Amino acid sequence: MKWLVTSTVGVIVLVVAGFLLFDSSGGTQDVTEPLLEGQPILGDEEANVTIIEFGDYKCPACKVWDETVFENLYDEYIQTGEANFAFIHAPFHGGESLLAALASESVWDRHPDAFWEYHKAIYDFQPENVAHDEEWVSAEVLLGIAEDIEADIDVAQLASDLVDQTYQEEVEQDIDLVQEYNVERTPTIIINGTLIEDPFDETLIHETIQSER
């Protein structure tokens, strides 16, 4: 895929800047809340609290965050209507990250009801203890995941979208947000304009959410 190759070169500065392992001293920073038009949002869009993740399906720390911190936030705040959750692609790990982002954008646009199940299934498929540069994402894998989940996805259409890079513009818009907000690692979490420097500090995350309710 020509675009995947050229896009990988185009975001090489992001790949270099991104931390391979999350390391933070904790605390928060005040930032302008990103505009979420067109982004997938889980939960009540009118909720007082919005939790934003800049994430990468190839990122092992994102998989852990999704399976631990996110699950707790979902049960306590998102499912109850107190908060919603948005996901923005930060494809730090080259062509595989970009390919997964393209598939994700296709499912979000064409099958929004299936998006969050597909989103979770990609993370679930990520091998345990995988190295950042170990290859595991491919078109075949992404299509297989779409076939295996319970939600209805037009797999032939998804395959065509990957070949045609139909959602290149949407992925590039996310990359623009990554650059605008100087995102250097994944996952990066922003809650109502407060950037959480350590995304695994659940105490701080809960305190921030509760202060915004």
Give tens-digit pLDDT for 67-119: 999 999 999 999 999 999 999 999 999 999 999 999 999 999 999 999 999 99
The residue among 89, 88, 95, 186 whose CA lies nearest residue 138 is 95
For position 152, what pLDDT does the model report? 96
Tell me the torsion sign for CA atoms 38, 44, 50, 51.
negative
Three-state DSSP at 173 gives: helix
Give the rounded distance of the alpha carbon of 161 from its chain centre: 19
Q: Which two tokens stand for residue 200?
A: 């695994």
Q: What is the largest CA-CA distance in the chain?
A: 47
**Beta-sheet strand order (sheet of 28-30):** 28-30, 194-196, 188-191, 49-55, 83-89, 41-42
The pLDDT score that the predictor gives to residue 25 is 55
User: Which residues of the chain carry a pLDDT beneath 50?
Assistant: 1-24
Q: Residue 167's closest CA among 111, 92, 93, 84? A: 111
Q: Does the global pTM surpass 0.85?
A: yes
5 is written with which tokens? 């190759």
**Rounded Cα–Cα distance for residues 36 and 68 (Å):** 24
Dist CA 200 CA 127 (whole Å): 20
Residue type, 196: I
Query: Which pLDDT belongs to residue 26?
Result: 72
User: How confident is the model at residue 132, as a pLDDT?
Assistant: 74
CA–CA dist 131, 114 (Å, integer) = 28
Q: What is the pLDDT of residue 129?
A: 83
